[in-house]
């Protein structure tokens, strides 16, 4: 029962975090309309899914940490999964940078249109999850 309540509390924390983050995203959107500065909303749109991914992995990470094992890092998982997913998460922002069309898959980003936001959000969540999952305790 204790484990059930702790998971239920963690779901509530993640839910509150998502709700707060989405409200902050709306606030940044309004600020962007006033100031024409889209950098804060771009940074937030990249960082927020990563934080959510870390929060999703955190309960299991804390349980594993109680084992008092020697810390290590899974570089293979980081290189094979996290780096490609990080590239996908950053791709819309890199396309608008000076690199532009020379990037791998940059033309596909423009063809995807609105689904790009969903793709980069999922990629950010996966990156955050795998980043914390790569740390072995």
Summarize pLDDT for 108-127 with one digit per residue, the tens. Answer: 665 665 555 677 888 899 99
Alpha-carbon torsion (8, 9, 12, 14), positive or negative: negative
pLDDT at 115: 53
pLDDT at 70: 78
Is 47:125 a contact under the CB 8 Å cutoff? no
pLDDT at 130: 92
Q: Where are the alpha helices (DSSP H) in the chain?
A: 2-35, 39-65, 75-77, 83-95, 106-112, 115-133
Average pLDDT over the chain, rounded to an integer: 83
Q: What whole-number distance in Å separates Cα of residue 97 and Cα of residue 134?
A: 30
For residue 20, give Cα distances in angstroms to 24, 26, 68, 101, 117.
Answer: 6, 10, 34, 35, 19
The encoded tokens of residue 45 equal 């749109």
pLDDT band at 107 (very low <50, low <70, confident <90, very high): low
Lowest mean pLDDT among 19-23, 51-55, 100-104: 100-104
Q: What whole-number distance in Å separates Cα of residue 80 and Cα of residue 69?
A: 24
Residue predicted with more confidence, 82 or 136: 82
Mean pLDDT, residues 15-19: 91
pLDDT reading at 7 higher than 90:
no
Residue environment code for 78-100, b if the CB has 16+ CB neighbours within 10 A, otherwise e: beebbeebbebbbbbeebeeeee
Summarize pLDDT for 30-75 with one digit per residue, the tens. Answer: 998 898 888 888 888 889 999 999 999 988 888 888 877 778 888 8
Mean pLDDT, residues 75-99: 82
pLDDT band at 94 (very low <50, low <70, confident <90, very high): confident
């Amino acid at each position: 029962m204790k484990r059930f309540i702790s998971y239920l509390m963690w779901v509530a924390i993640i839910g509150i975090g998502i709700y707060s983050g989405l409200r902050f995203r709306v606030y940044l959107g309004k600020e962007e309309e006033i100031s024409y500065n889209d950098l804060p909303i771009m940074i937030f749109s990249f960082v927020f899914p990563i934080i959510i991914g870390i929060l999703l992995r955190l309960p299991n990470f804390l349980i594993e940490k109680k084992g008092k094992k020697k810390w290590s890092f899974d570089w293979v998982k980081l290189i094979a999964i996290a780096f490609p997913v990080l590239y996908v998460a950053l791709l819309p922002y890199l396309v608008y940078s000076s690199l532009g069309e020379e990037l791998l898959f940059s033309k596909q980003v423009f063809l995807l249109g609105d689904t790009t936001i969903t793709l980069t959000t999922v990629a950010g969540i996966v990156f955050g999850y795998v980043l914390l999952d790569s740390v072995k305790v």
